Chain A
């Protein structure tokens, strides 16, 4: 059996190894991805995002329980940050998911950002495709703990859950652009804490203004109060995700098509950018142009970044 067949048949070891090769940008992994692609498109992808420590991993753990109860298989990709100094990382999201370690119906993979900004890793979308081809019914992607502007998940997931906790800031934070705009479902976790009513009120105001101005496309994002550690609010959250899914699927072909097209477009653009950059670098290298020399030229004010890039592009691609 070759690796493609192994993955399609659900082989854990083969899948785990391919994910590593994808992460490490090994060229053969692209060939395998090509062959797996026709087998994708069956899984439902749910994104969990929010600041560090709001409870994303615990919520993901809880959602995995509910989906397993329905008999669905679950793939989880959990992102943690890479050190900008050593390049190393501590990947600790699994600590909250221990109960699933021996369940063959759950595959969990921890990923490090490796310098990628946006909340995911450079290759998260490729990995989602692999888990999809592997036959996982539900794929949950947990972003790195995000700030205000890491919104990539909205283009990867079918449903995006934005998790917050009481006391994270005033109502101006709630109307700022960026992360607050991407939630299809909002969760106020640790809702037993002081200030949770206020947080919910502020979120509701923000959402209502958005819906009244027609930005909602017929979907009004619900706000779910949860205490993930005590499993409070989990059925409601699960219900909200399923409701959003049926909203996408039932509101004619349009909504679903829109979501799929958005995901494919982003992946196409990212892959193109990636390969174009790599090709350029390779060609420069083959020609003996070193990046160090170019840097020196700019530092010595013999040239500037704009002229140099224009020269490179017209020489290599022109």
Chain B
């Protein structure tokens, strides 16, 4: 990690799912791990999530979802990140997923999926180990 770089993470809930206890608990755990956590509340569209991730310059997006709509929202978010030339922003998911969906989500580039029962410490450890705050921009980036 570059000196003084702080990891920034967006915790977002896509779609029509108002059960945000899990998202709040994980946001708190990330805070306690020393990350700067942008939390935007429920009912976010993929477009809103990607736009926020870019404006906030986060290193990683954590998506919390319980509704089953991940088959739409996760691929759409990956697509939008690509369109915005922002594939360097990592994406992880947490919530309830049919087991057979998990390999498919990994295939489209979701870095990790955390299921019910995952320990907070394991999740924050995973982020600390696998995600680096990005490099500084160069003055003459051509």
Residues of A bordering B, CB below 8 Å: 1-4, 12-14, 16-21, 23-26, 28-29, 31-32, 82-83, 85-92, 94-95, 98, 101-102, 107-110, 112, 114
| Bound Cα distance A24, B1 (Å) | 12
Number of A-B contacts (CB under 8 A): 113
Residues of B within 8 A of A83 (CB): 31-32
Q: Are A102 and B47 in contact (CB under 8 A)?
A: yes
Residues of A within 8 A of B47 (CB): 101-102
Q: Are A14 and B38 in contact (CB under 8 A)?
A: no
Given contacts A28-B136, A31-B139, contact A19 B57 (CB under 8 A): yes
Residues of B within 8 A of A85 (CB): 32
Select from chain B the residue with minimum beta-carbon distance to A88: B31
Given contacts A20-B8, A28-B139, contact A88 B55 (CB under 8 A): no
Residues of B within 8 A of A14 (CB): 137
Residues of B bordering A, CB below 8 Å: 2, 4-6, 8, 27-28, 30-41, 44-45, 47-48, 51-52, 54-57, 84-86, 134, 136-142
Q: Are A21 and B136 in contact (CB under 8 A)?
A: yes
Of A1, A18, A91, which one neighbours B137 at CB under 8 angstroms? A18
- 23 A-B interface contacts by CB (under 8 A): A2-B142, A3-B137, A16-B54, A16-B56, A17-B137, A21-B136, A24-B2, A26-B4, A28-B138, A88-B32, A88-B34, A90-B27, A90-B37, A90-B39, A91-B39, A94-B38, A94-B52, A95-B41, A98-B41, A98-B48, A101-B52, A102-B45, A102-B47
| Bound Cα distance A25, B39 (Å) | 24
Q: Are A3 and B54 in contact (CB under 8 A)?
A: no
Select from chain A the residue with minimum beta-carbon distance to B28: A90
| Bound Cα distance A12, B56 (Å) | 10
| Bound Cα distance A178, B141 (Å) | 45
